[in-house]
Chains A and B, each alone.
Chain A
Amino acid sequence: MSLGKKENKIDLSKNTCPNREQRAKGTNVYFGKASELLDEAKEGTLQCSDRKFQQSGGCVLNFYLAVRVSTIRDAAVIFNAPVGCSSSALGYRELYRAVPVELGRPAEYDLHWLTTNLQQNDVVYGASNKLKDAIKEAQTRYNPKAIFILTSCTTGIIGEDIEGTVTEIQPEIDATIVPIHCEGVRSRLVQTGYDAFWHAVLKYLVKKPEKKQKDLVNVASMLSYTWQDRLEIERLLGKVGLRVNFIPEFATVEQFEQLSEAAVTAPICPTYTDYISRGLEQEFGVPYFLYPSPMGIKNTDEWLRRIGKYTDKEEEIEELIKEEHVKWVPKLEEIREQLLNIKEDGTKLNVLGSLGQGRLVSQLPYFDEIGLKSPAAMAQDFDDLLIEELEEVLDTVGDFDIMVNTFQASEQAHVTHKVNPDVALTCPFQGGAWKRDSEITRIHALRGDADPWSAQSGYTGAVAFGNFLLQSLKNKSYQKTMKEKTATGYKDWYLEQPDPLYFLEKGK
């Protein structure tokens, strides 16, 4: 398979990765046919543009990178930033507490983060001593195995030499220091932050393999997939004698160190996993694949087969698939029947998904499988890493409208208003887009949700999410009442005129 800019070698001698804009010709804005977006991506003509009106869609640090890194066990995190940049990580002690110990959460664990709490004086005179102090303090207080440093707009603009500081102080420190370049101003695409994180993991943390572990499968999973998804993946792979190395959230430092020993790196969210997957192959010969994700029956079958290929478990995997189908396919058929019979005219229900690039290629075929139609979809950003995958999706489900918009709530409100789907699968941050006289539910489950109801991955997840969607069709009183009884932030003229990208500065 093609992997977009596969020819671009990851250069670990560099302090950080290239931005997604450069690495994968990413764009922050698009509205039109998916087929045309695909053509542009193939021609390499995608680019970023500015908007006259723009909303706070997240930066490379504060779109979940801050939250994610602060969940890594036996590590400490230092936000080299003014005090506000780390606020999003204030839930660190709670993030996984809702997961019962019986379901695999260790009873004893601790997470730690510090802010260098930069002041006016630090900005004027430089902050390297303060960073050193923070590193020493982290070592003394927590005795961690690794210390991650997250940079900020401020350290970027005042030109802090982070690597210089790290090199100087590392000999005094037991923990491995891992600087991550996630200055908010560095890129328009939040995915750059994930690449920057993986770059640092590859550069500083992953060890040369002591032994290859033929039964170990790396899975980079996201916070927006649930604890139940992990359990399902462990259940399936465990049945054929494979073990899963889940990174990064809630992983131990050792789990990062041994990424090089795995038999394969498998995706849950390909656009998120791309950089680490390619890096592990390039540096340590760990093979990987980016498509499909284990979402829906067919995709899960294929995902398992790929893993089977790299772990010499092909026969066992076929057996597993057969066994699982007996149990789960009839249940999915039932859901499909129900979903197809909801509209009186016998047509399929339309869903509008706020999917992200990764979910775009994994979730649309699943919707097709359970009898839903997606006339339009939204993604945060889009780049050329998943060209063939999108092509495959288009072959399966036909053409559709796609909006790429880095969490622009006004544009999402506009599209939701205009497309008026039967079900809007929203990300809950979209301003007032959820207030509507029709169905609304979430697409991403947040945090370490331990309830089986929240699962989306594998066979149990396909069925659970199907039931979840069925349930969403049963009551719209909240969004309907709120639409009737509360004001909207946007003036009517904007929602009534045809162009969701009204404020785009075209040609820039």
Chain B
Amino acid sequence: MVENNLETAKETAVTDPSIHVIEAPRYSCALAGVYGTVLGLYDAVPLLHSGAGCGVGQLFGLLYGGGQNAGGDFGGTATPCSCLVEEHVIFGGENKLGNLVDSSIDLLNAELFVVISGCVPSLIGDDVDAVVGEFKDKAPVLHINAPGFKANSYEGYELFFEGLADQLLTEKPVKKGKVNILGVVPYQHIFWKGELKAIKDLLASIEIDANIIFTEYDTLEKLNDIPAAEYNVVVSPWNGHRAAKKLEDKFGTPFISFPGVPVGPKQTSEFLRELSKALNTYSDKVEKVIGKEERRSYRLLEYPGDAIILVRPHSYFAVAADSSTAVSLTKFLTNEIGYLPDIIQITDNPPEEFREAIVREITENLETGYSPDIIFEVDSHKIRENFKDRPFLFLFGSSLEGPIAMSDFGALSVTVAFPSYNRMVLVDNYVGYDGGARLVEHVVTTFAGPL
């Protein structure tokens, strides 16, 4: 493994490798994160105040990478953009932006307009807030300042919610049994669409009304309802935490966090119990739902028994994925399928303060005496080096691993994380009671044949 001994121009000692030179990191910039988040809202349109390539670049990077998805009516080349060039660098881009916001409101069928400013306006000092302020009476317009050199795409998700809370949301009477779901980052979490719907349906089964915000129409209503929640439910070890804190500070909404989306029966039952207890709705009725669903889903998991035990029993596996996916899949495969976690590489650069909890969540909750190596790594070259000469037979990673999994590591691969150019994701996801069975389908399909 090549050591990263690089130093930046800056004088302070830097330990955070994520600010160094990196091969193919599995995330994009702040602008991209806000962009993907806004595209996840069905009636909102992102307006890029940036160079002309930022939308197209993220179509190829974030949207295709996020499960091979097209841009839709407001993504990719259809994204309104101020398309800044040299003359704007010299004379400013405010006028161009004003024209863009004005014409977008006239032209586009949307409820909410979100101006996302990138590197260029930040470097040339445009007063974007002033420009956006002029249109507040004409339509709901937000401004999210998201220069690419300031933060990454995961942080872009938080920036959106922070801006939303400050610029649009107002206090609402709290509705009992209503929660917001936070921590599923559109496109970066490639199963975002299916995961959110699965969580909503799951919670509906125990009479909790989940506002999943994304992938639904009536966006403005959904957003305005955020402060009406009794709880914010965060389903990631770090994504959505800043957003939830902001909402707590601003509207007093408490939040409860889970270390990932619930995958398979064990995690799902725990999720339902803990959440209903927090909301004071835990009852026999909840246990009845759990009992019924567990009985049904474990019957389902009898079917792959021969394939697993005759062909690939107690196999070592490796993971290269974002924190949330890595935690949930590792726990399911280890605790319900009897597989052995060999090496887990966390690729989404969680802030330092969350890392210990992520490691603990994996190591302390495994029903095996065997603990995997856990490495936080963002550099695709190093991730590849770290995987060499290990015993794993399966690799749960991205489409960066897909082409080299067999030749480099002798492993079968399943794409479960960003980027996912080799797997289209529309409704697929591993959440809930059936989620575990779906993951088993995908695992067994990599080696299935006559027994």
Contact = CB atoms under 8 A, between A and B. Distances in A.
A309 B208 CA distance: 77
Contact of A114 (B23, B88, B104, B150): B23
Contact of A62 (B20, B31, B56, B86): B56
A158 interface: yes
Contact of B149 (A57, A88, A119): A119
A162 interface: no
A133 to B, nearest CB: 4
A185 interface: yes
B21 A112 contact: no
B48 interface: yes
A55 B21 contact: no
A125 B71 CA distance: 36
B81 A55 contact: yes
B386 interface: no
A57 B421 CA distance: 22
A154 interface: yes
Contact of A53 (B28, B70, B84, B100): B100
A68 to B, nearest CB: 12
A50 B148 contact: no
A424 B20 CA distance: 46
Contacts of B400: 90, 93
Contacts, number: 283
Interface stretch (A201-209, A289-297, A425-433): A425-433
A430 B61 contact: no
B58 A84 contact: yes
Contacts of A56: 48, 50, 52-56, 76-77, 79-81, 83
Nearest to B104: A53
A259 B19 CA distance: 38
Contact of B81 (A54, A117, A431): A54
Contact of B6 (A62, A123, A133): A133
Given A121-B9, A157-B124, A185 B59 contact: no
Given A63-B56, A119-B19, A154-B123, A93 B404 contact: yes
B161 interface: no
B57 interface: yes
A229 B165 CA distance: 53
A154 B403 contact: no
A89 B26 CA distance: 11
Contacts of A186: 85-86
A239 B419 CA distance: 42
A129 interface: yes
Chain B CB within 10 Å, residue with most, of A53, A56, A157: A56
B6 A82 contact: no
Interface string B1-42: 010101111100000001111111111111110000000000
Nearest to A428: B70
A234 interface: no
A56 B96 CA distance: 14
Interface in A212-235: none
Contacts of B82: 54
A130 B8 contact: yes
Contacts of B22: 83, 114-115, 117
Contacts of A35: none
Contacts of B56: 56-59, 62-63, 88, 407, 429
Interface string A90-108: 1111100100000000000
B206 interface: no
B73 A488 contact: yes
A92 B24 contact: yes
B119 interface: yes
A84 B85 contact: no
Contacts of A141: 2, 23, 381
B86 A85 contact: no
Given A55-B77, A91-B399, A487-B109, A62 B57 contact: yes
Nearest to A447: B421
Given A84-B29, A94-B399, A487-B73, A53 B21 contact: no
A87 B21 contact: no
A251 interface: no
B267 interface: no
B125 to A, nearest CB: 11
Nearest to B152: A83
Contact of B21 (A85, A130, A428): A130
A60 B52 CA distance: 9
Given A118-B148, A153-B119, 15 more contacts: A52-B99, A55-B80, A56-B50, A59-B51, A62-B54, A85-B148, A87-B65, A91-B64, A93-B404, A112-B23, A114-B21, A125-B9, A185-B84, A431-B78, A432-B78
